[in-house]
């Protein structure tokens, strides 16, 4: 038996599903479980490889480089327009903040992102 409890909107829901042996066998045939002794290794680009592979990252750098200096909210708006996603735009801002080419300064209103390029700071 499977029990599902929760809410839908403001209404409480309690659902019991009973399966006999044949139902469980049918369900097991639809689901194939991987029973390998070693976990599957996933290859993800890290560090510079990720930077080169991410077109939004390159464009985010170009936006800031062309502007020279941008306030955080203005940069966020431009990155949201670029990515079409607030979360992705915020992730790009974090990457810019930690980049060697960008200096982040505090002003009275917001953080200022300033492009430094490859110059020594």
Query: Would residue 75 count as lying in a domain?
Result: yes
Q: How many domains would you assign to the chain?
A: 1
Whether 4 maps to a domain, the answer reads no
Model pTM?
Answer: 0.54
The answer as to whether 7 is a domain residue is no
Supply the range of the domain harboring residue 81: 48-115
What is the average pLDDT value for the chain, to the nearest integer? 79
What are the angstrom distances between the C-alpha of 89 and each of 53, 59, 72, 75, 111?
A: 17, 12, 11, 9, 15
Q: What is the pLDDT of residues 80-100, one digit of tens each?
A: 998 888 999 999 999 999 999
What 3-state DSSP class applies to 92?
Answer: helix
Residue 30 lies in a domain: no
């Amino acid at each position: 038996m499977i029990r599902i409890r929760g809410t839908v909107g403001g209404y409480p829901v309690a659902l019991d599903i009973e399966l006999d042996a044949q139902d469980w066998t049918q369900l097991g045939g639809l689901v194939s479980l991987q029973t390998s002794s070693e976990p599957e290794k996933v290859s993800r680009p890290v560090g510079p490889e990720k930077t080169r592979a991410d077109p939004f990252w390159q464009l985010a750098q170009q936006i800031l480089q062309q502007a020279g200096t941008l306030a955080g909210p203005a940069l966020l708006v431009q990155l949201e327009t670029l990515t079409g996603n607030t979360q992705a735009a915020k992730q790009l801002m974090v990457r810019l903040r930690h980049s060697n080419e960008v200096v982040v300064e505090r002003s009275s209103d917001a953080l200022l992102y300033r492009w430094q390029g490859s110059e020594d700071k």
